[in-house]
Amino acid sequence: MESKKFKRIGVLTSGGDAPGMNAAIRAVVRSAIYHGIEPVGIMRGYQGILDKRFIGMQSHSVSKIINKGGTMLKSSRCPQFKEAGTRVQAMENLREAGIEALVVIGGDGSFRGANALYEEFDFPVVGVPGTIDNDIYGTDFTIGFDTAINTAVEAIDKIRDTADSHNLIFFVEVMGRDAGFIGLYTGIATGAEQCLIPEYHTDIDKLCSYLTNERRKNKTSGIIVVAEGEDAGSAHEIAQKVKEKLPHYDTRVTTLGHIQRGGSPTCNDRVLASVLGNGAVEALMRGWSGVMVGQINGDITYTPFNQACTKHNQINKNLYEIAHILAL
């Protein structure tokens, strides 16, 4: 196996922040130092390469961040990175700073940028999946998902108290962009009456007959979890449609929003981020590039960017069916 020695590698966080990104940065920095490589932090994702915002990192630079949400390197969406000319400039800036390889912590959009650097310039890049959405192919879980679902569960449990006390039907919207992982997991964990997720079609008539069925007919409270990207519309729109058909129901809508992106990462996210951050540096040392490090069934795996960017993590159909069976 080829073993590669880099003098200096860069690390950045890109796209939406996710709890555990700091733990991943820490793992990259410390693993690099362990191997005698100089780690360089790049501020604000790809924008920081363009702005030459490079900062030298020592072991102590990442002290006491493992428990912190957000990202110490900050993140950004940098639309101009989609243009080839911008990437030529980025490549020049990286070379000028002596950065010989890159670890990109982010979602599939960020990996498209990383893949472009790898394919266009043969530049060594490894990706680490950091997003609350859990939608990335090539890993069972992404960094941040576990924290996000725990935050959402805590919030929905509180909403349940009010729903029960006042006989309300709550439509609670959770994040996920176009993926239903947060919706499904939080729906099951909170005993929601229904989880509406983009992967499955929602029929408003069926939803209404569920709410008024024999077993539920004396119940006027309930939680319907609505994942972002749902085909029947937003939680507000679905609540409106239900209200039109069942006007005697008192409905409320809560959109959990960005509270799902913040907060101290859970133990699972910290461990996953530590393992994957280390796995990214190990890959570079072995001369592997153009890949995303993931964890499947407990094993560290490396998936080519062109698959990680184009395929999607699939919702477990069995889990979806269980959610329905248990909500009878």
At residue 296, the 3 state secondary structure works out as strand
Residue 39 and residue 11 in contact, taking contact as beta carbons nearer than 8 Å: yes
Is residue 128 within 8 Å of 293, Cβ to Cβ? yes
* Residue pointed to by tokens 């309930």: 222
Is residue 228 at the binding interface for ligand F6P, with CB under 6 A as the rule? yes
Neighbouring CB atoms inside 10 A of 91's CB total 15
Residue 238 binding: pick among ligand F6P, ligand ADP, none (C-beta 5-8 Å cut-off by kind): none
DSSP-derived secondary structure letter, 136: B
Rule CB under 6 A: say whether 48 interacts with ligand ADP: no
Residue 226 CB, shortest distance to ligand F6P, in Å, is: 13
- By a kind-dependent CB cut-off of 5 to 8 A, residue 252 interacts, out of ligand ADP, ligand F6P, none, with none
Binding ligand ADP by CB under 6 A: which of 68, 74, 112, 312? 112
Identified binder of ligand ADP from the candidate list 74, 97, 109, 320, rule CB under 6 A: 109
Q: H or E stretch including 227?
A: strand 222-227
Within 10 angstroms of residue 89's Cβ, the number of other Cβ atoms is 13
Active site residue 133: yes
Separation between Cα atoms, residue 300 and residue 27, nearest integer Å: 15
Site string for ligand F6P, 110-139 (x = CB under 6 A): ---------------------xxx------
- CA Rg value for the chain: 22
The H-or-E segment that residue 194 falls in is strand 194-196
Residues 120-159 that bind ligand ADP (CB under 6 A): 131
Residue 176 near ligand F6P by CB under 6 A: yes
Interface with ligand ADP, residue 79, by CB under 6 A: yes
Q: CB under 5 to 8 A by kind: which of ligand F6P, ligand ADP, none does 312 bind?
A: none
CB atoms within 10 A of CB 296: 12
Residues that bind ligand ADP (CB under 6 A): 14-16, 46, 77-79, 81-82, 106-110, 112-113, 116, 131
Active site residues: 133
Q: Could you list the residues that contact ligand F6P (CB under 6 A)?
A: 16, 107, 131-133, 175-177, 228, 261
